[in-house]
């Protein structure tokens, strides 16, 4: 947790199109439901690129300060995390000190189009900034819809890099949140 964390208070967010969107801190009891949604995203979009041996462990990685979930009309539909920069986080290396990685962002394919991804990103950015950190992220260059979201929201391209992710050679695009 980031120092000064205010707990798991739910924040209603006005969703486009009417459904009730709520963003709140993720709790341990929601990890299995997060894995269910992640599996939908993996089948549809190939994210994550390789299915983790332990999806719960992947979502609750030790580097995470905190994570949030999105519920649309009471149903869990999305997730985002904020973590310390670690070795291999290209965006953090390009940005420099005080970077925090936005990661594990996904939204159920059935729940897209209601501003869920945008709302999740906003809460992660706000949390990072409240703690004196600059939010950055790495994304596969082939993740066209994710790249389009970040660019539409004004995230600044820091650069691209060839990376070795497990057995795969990939190209990542590295972004910093808008000022």
* Parent domain of 110: 11-135
Evaluate if residue 16 carries a pLDDT over 80: no
Q: pLDDT (tens digit, 9 = 90+) per residue, 81-110?
A: 999 888 878 999 899 889 999 999 999 999
- Is 169 domain-assigned? no
Q: pLDDT (tens digit, 9 = 90+) per residue, 143-157?
A: 999 999 999 999 999
Evaluate if residue 27 carries a pLDDT over 90: yes
- Is 22 domain-assigned? yes
- Is 55 domain-assigned? yes
In 43-167, where do the E strands start and end?
64-72, 75-84, 99-107, 134-140, 156-165
Question: Could you tell me the pTM of the whole model?
Answer: 0.88
Q: Is 156 exposed, middle or buried (0-12, 13-18, 19+ CB in 10 A)?
A: middle
Which CATH number does the domain housing residue 72 bear?
3.40.630.30
The two tokens of residue 165 are 């992710």
Q: How many beta carbons lie within 10 A of that of residue 53, not counting itself?
A: 7
- Is 104 domain-assigned? yes
**Total domains in the fold of the chain:** 1
Alpha-carbon gap, residue 105 to 116, rounded angstroms: 10
Percent of the chain clearing pLDDT 70 (strictly above):
90
3-state class of 162 per DSSP?
strand
């Amino acid at each position: 947790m980031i120092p000064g964390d205010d707990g798991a208070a739910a924040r209603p967010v006005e969703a486009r199109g009417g459904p009730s969107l709520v963003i709140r801190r993720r709790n341990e009891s929601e990890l299995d439901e997060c894995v269910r949604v992640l599996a939908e995203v993996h089948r549809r979009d190939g994210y994550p690129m390789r299915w983790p041996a332990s999806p719960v462990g992947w979502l609750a990685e030790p580097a995470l300060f905190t994570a949030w979930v999105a519920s649309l009309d009471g149903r869990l539909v999305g997730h985002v995390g904020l973590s310390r920069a670690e070795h291999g986080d290209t965006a953090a290396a390009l940005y420099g000190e005080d970077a925090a990685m936005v990661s594990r962002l996904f939204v159920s394919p059935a729940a897209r189009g209601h501003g869920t991804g945008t709302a999740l990103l906003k809460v992660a950015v706000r949390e990072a900034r409240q703690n004196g950190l600059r939010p950055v992220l790495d994304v596969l260059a082939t993740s066209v819809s994710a790249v389009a979201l970040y660019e539409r929201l004004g995230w600044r391209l820091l650069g691209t890099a060839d990376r070795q992710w497990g057995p795969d050679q990939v190209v990542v695009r590295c972004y910093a949140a808008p000022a």
